[in-house]
């Protein structure tokens, strides 16, 4: 995976990243919203990875070390927020629904004329208010893939990261990493705040997002990510991402 130098997005408000490009790990003194106008962006911190397709916006508070990776060609829009405004958003990284109104305001605030200072200051303030009002009212989305600390759980999740289509039960995986099914089930709840089934579904959807953005078909993606049939894949994907995999794929491949 290629890594690109971190550009001053605070000034530019926009970065266009090619599929697979990654910004190095960094932190900011202000919280910021990241919206992929095209493509998919992942935001990774020590606590896990958040995925933002074009129906979502990623929020990273100030001081959190993180890096971004593009899946598909991504038009990355970045909006930094003053501390007083950022206080209305979660104190932790999150993925939030982006309404049509918030989307248009974000695009306007990160357009070339905005970066050049051609938009009046009072208009910029009003657009900021629209974005924050909309995003602050949006629920957090289940597009966070937390990473464990326990060595046994890390070994298990590593197996599934390498092969998301793995169909082994929690008990069978436990035999491979030296822990009982009961112990692993408890650890998933304690460390990751979700069940094994929920975590594996999240992992598979994360992989599906990146495969579809790269042009894989819905059927091939369903098989590669471990679903028994496209129907069950479509249902799980739509419930998490907010649109069908077919529609999502078509938008990623439209110039």
Query: What gap in Å lies between CA 50 and CA 47, rounded to an integer?
Result: 10
For residue 4, tell me if it sits in a domain. no
Q: How many domains does the chain have?
A: 2
Out of 97, 113, 136, pick the residue that ends a domain.
136
Q: Tell me the CATH number at 170.
A: 1.10.10.60
For residue 3, tell me if it sits in a domain. no
Is there a single domain that holds both residue 13 and residue 113? yes
pTM for this one?
0.79
- Domain limits at 95? 9-136
Closest CA to 143 of 188, 187, 94: 94
- Burial code (b: 16+ CB inside 10 Å, e: under 16) for 109-123 equals bbeeebeeeeeeeee
Per-residue pLDDT of the chain (255 residues; tens, 9 = 90+): 444 444 454 455 888 998 889 999 999 999 999 999 988 899 998 888 998 888 889 999 999 999 999 988 889 999 998 888 888 999 999 999 889 999 999 999 988 765 545 666 778 888 888 999 999 998 888 788 888 999 999 999 999 999 999 999 999 999 999 999 999 999 999 999 999 999 999 999 989 988 888 889 999 999 999 999 999 999 999 988 888 999 988 877 765
Cβ atoms 173, 159 nearer than 8 A: yes
């Amino acid at each position: 995976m290629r890594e690109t130098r971190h550009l001053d997005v605070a000034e530019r408000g926009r970065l266009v990243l090619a599929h697979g490009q990654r910004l190095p790990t960094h932190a900011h003194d202000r919280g910021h919203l990241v919206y992929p106008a095209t493509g998919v962006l992942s935001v990774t911190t020590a606590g896990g990875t958040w995925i933002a397709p074009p129906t979502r916006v990623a929020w990273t508070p100030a001081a959190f070390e993180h890096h971004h990776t593009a899946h598909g060609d991504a038009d990355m829009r970045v909006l930094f927020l003053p501390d007083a405004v950022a206080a209305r958003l979660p104190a932790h990284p999150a993925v939030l629904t982006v309404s049509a109104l918030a989307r248009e305001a974000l695009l306007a605030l990160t357009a070339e004329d905005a970066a050049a200072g051609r938009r009046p200051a009072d208009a910029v303030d009003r657009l900021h208010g629209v974005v924050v009002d909309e995003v602050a009212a949006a629920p957090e989305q289940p597009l966070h893939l937390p990473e464990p600390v326990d060595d046994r759980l890390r070994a298990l999740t590593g197996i599934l990261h390498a092969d998301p289509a793995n169909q082994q039960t929690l008990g069978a995986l436990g035999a491979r990493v030296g822990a009982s099914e009961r112990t692993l089930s408890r650890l998933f709840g304690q460390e990751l705040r979700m069940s094994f089934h929920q975590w594996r579904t999240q992992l598979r959807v994360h992989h599906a997002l990146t495969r579809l953005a790269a042009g894989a078909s819905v059927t091939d993606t369903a098989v590669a990510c471990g679903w028994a049939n496209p129907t069950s894949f479509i249902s799980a994907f739509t419930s998490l991402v907010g649109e069908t995999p077919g529609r999502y794929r078509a938008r990623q491949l439209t110039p």
